[in-house]
């Protein structure tokens, strides 16, 4: 029996059910493996008092320290996240917070391996904890955890050191692996471990009926993801302004909402562009089913789950050449890879709309990505680390 301690600061809770849902799905898949026992440590970073008692921090602080989450034991220790340090101290304080918790946990659950499913601050902390408790460590790179923290002056050194010291590494795409190697991480330690998609939940539906349910007639573009600048929703809004008959629905929430609302108003697009706010992941398939195109103009990605979920619903994607985009859009039927400009997106969306590709043909692009393969690959990877340690 393989005893796995999964460490992830990116994991859902009662106040953020969409937060880290793909980490959750990967973890639940591994937990269901007949040869695995698993516990999750999902730390929560909070600023010092009195900031910790306000707003979203207060909601996070009120979460239980431990609970059963969808049948899995989840621990939610707090660690100090000091404002104004650009993350420099996150891994240090995370390690300090986790050391006594893991020492106690190890008395009744002698974990064989630490599976850090997000690179920062989880990865550096996992390496320190692995050394302390004498177990191998795996770290998974997903996207901004490496592209942002791995290039930021305050944290880049920690990312590179953790990548060199970990016993094994996972990358969501071949492109991510290349980026990790370019940062000095050993290629022989990196396994490409792609995401999965629930092909039962994200499935073909009648597009006209789905559009009617949303009160939309004509071409529909959907964009999903947090309303933050690097997701590039403004680029897609500008592109839709150049497509007179098209509608755009954006699912997500974040601090860039005000800027997007202002842009939509300034362009006179209020009748064609809507910000839906946060859409529960369980409702995303119904939204995608209505779309003719999924367009996401991210500045960087590893291999976005949103791309694969759209394909599973029979919806082609229009995306820039970032991360694993060429590993997903391998056929014209699956969409277009375009320049990250309004003109590029407008052209790509128009091209996809003119193709009229049958949804079943598009869906074939998602059938390469299954949670079963994801679970099998993760189990093999972690088992090998334990066997060779």
Q: Please determine, for residue 134, whether its predicted confidence score (pLDDT) is greater than 90.
A: yes
| Residue 120 domain-assigned (yes or no) | yes
Same domain, 111 and 54: yes
Domain that holds residue 42: 2-196+370-388
Specify the pTM: 0.90
Report the largest interatomic distance among the alpha carbons of the chain, rounded to a whole angstrom: 64
| Residue 151 domain-assigned (yes or no) | yes
Q: Please determine, for residue 56, whether its predicted confidence score (pLDDT) is greater than 90.
A: no
Same domain, 189 and 216: no
Same domain, 25 and 125: yes
Among candidate residues 298, 283, 290, 370, the one with its CA nearest the CA of residue 17: 283
pLDDT digits over 68-87, tens only?
999 999 999 999 999 999 99
pLDDT digits over 326-385, tens only?
999 999 999 999 999 999 999 999 999 999 999 999 999 999 999 999 999 999 999 999
**DSSP states along 136-148:** -EEEEE-SHHHHT
Same domain, 191 and 228: no
| Residue 202 domain-assigned (yes or no) | no
Same domain, 291 and 316: yes
Same domain, 320 and 224: yes
Q: Residue 299 is part of a domain; what is its CATH number?
A: 3.40.50.2000
Average pLDDT, the chain: 95
| Residue 201 domain-assigned (yes or no) | no
Phi-psi group of 40: left, alpha or beta (phi > 0 → left; psi -120 to 50 → alpha; rest → beta): beta
Instruction: Identify the burial level of 326 via C-beta atoms within 10 angstroms of its C-beta, where 0-12 means exposed, 13-18 middle and 19 or more buried.
Output: middle
Domains contained in the chain, number: 2
């Amino acid at each position: 029996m393989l005893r796995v301690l999964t460490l992830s600061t990116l994991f859902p809770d009662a106040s953020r059910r969409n937060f880290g849902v793909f980490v959750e799905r990967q973890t639940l898949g591994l937990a269901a493996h007949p040869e695995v026992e698993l516990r999750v440590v999902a730390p929560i970073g909070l600023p010092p008092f009195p900031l910790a008692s306000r707003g979203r921090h207060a909601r996070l602080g009120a979460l239980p320290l431990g609970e059963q989450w969808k049948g899995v034991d989840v621990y939610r220790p707090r660690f100090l996240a000091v404002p104004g340090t650009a993350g420099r101290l996150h891994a240090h304080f995370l390690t300090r917070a986790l050391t006594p918790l893991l020492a106690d946990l190890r008395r009744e659950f002698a974990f064989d391996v630490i599976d850090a499913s997000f690179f920062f601050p989880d990865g550096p902390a996992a390496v320190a904890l692995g050394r302390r408790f004498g177990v191998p460590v795996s770290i998974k790179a997903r996207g901004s955890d490496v592209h942002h923290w791995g290039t930021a002056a305050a944290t880049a050194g920690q990312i590179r050191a953790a990548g060199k010291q970990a016993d094994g590494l996972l990358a969501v795409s071949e492109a991510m692996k290349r980026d990790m190697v370019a940062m000095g991480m050993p290629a022989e330690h990196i396994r490409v471990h792609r995401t999965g998609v629930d092909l039962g939940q994200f499935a073909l539906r009648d597009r006209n009926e789905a559009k009617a349910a949303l009160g939309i007639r004509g071409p529909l573009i959907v964009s999903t993801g947090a309303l933050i600048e690097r997701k590039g929703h403004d680029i897609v809004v500008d592109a839709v302004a150049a497509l007179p008959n098209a509608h755009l629905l954006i699912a997500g929430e974040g601090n860039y909402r005000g800027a997007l609302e202002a842009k939509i108003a300034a362009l006179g697009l209020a009748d064609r562009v809507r910000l839906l706010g946060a859409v529960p992941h369980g409702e995303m398939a119904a939204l995608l089913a209505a779309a003719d195109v999924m367009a996401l103009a991210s500045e960087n990605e590893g291999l976005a789950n949103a791309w694969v979920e759209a394909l599973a619903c029979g919806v082609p994607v229009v995306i820039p050449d970032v991360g694993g985009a060429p590993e997903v859009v391998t056929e014209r039927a699956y969409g277009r890879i375009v320049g990250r400009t309004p003109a590029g997106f407008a052209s790509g969306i128009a091209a996809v709309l003119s193709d009229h590709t049958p949804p079943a043909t598009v869906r074939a692009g998602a059938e390469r990505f299954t949670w079963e393969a994801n679970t099998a690959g993760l189990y093999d990877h972690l088992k090998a680390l334990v066997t060779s340690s």
